[in-house]
Amino acid sequence: MAHQLAVESPHVTADVIEVSEFPEILQRYHVRGVPKTIINERVTFEGALPEAAVLARVVEAAAAGTGL
């Protein structure tokens, strides 16, 4: 779904990262289960969420970055 958000919005950058190849990323984000999503280095969640729930977190992360 992250990629789809990036297709639709110029504000979005979406990376899918296959972490078994990058142990430093595994360590950095304390990954215990996948998928794990990190948004703007501040909002995180594990597993797959419904679309509306993902959007809520995307909006939360975007708003936090602007100090709103």
Partner 1 sequence: MPLLRDADRRELETLFARQLEHPVTLRFYTQRESPLVLPAQECQTCRETGELLAEIAALSPKLSVERHDFVAEAEQARQLGVDHIPAILFEGQARGRLRYFGVPAGYEFAVLIGAILDVSRGTTELAPATRQQLAALPGPVHLKVLVTPT
We find the least distance from the C-beta atom of residue 42 to partner 1, in angstroms, to be 10
We find the least distance from the C-beta atom of residue 52 to partner 1, in angstroms, to be 7
Q: Does 49 bind partner 1 (CB under 8 A)?
A: no
Residues 19-38 interacting with partner 1 (rule: CB under 8 A): 19-22, 25-26, 29, 31, 34-38
User: Which pair of tokens denotes residue 32?
Assistant: 């215990």
Using the CB atoms, write b or e for 10-49: b if 16+ within 10 Å.
eeeeeeeeebeeeeeebeeeebeeeebbbbeeebeeeeee
User: Which pair of tokens denotes residue 66?
Assistant: 């602007």
Question: For binding to partner 1 (CB under 8 A), which residues are involved?
Answer: 1-22, 25-26, 29, 31, 34-41, 51-52, 55, 58-59, 61-63, 65-66, 68
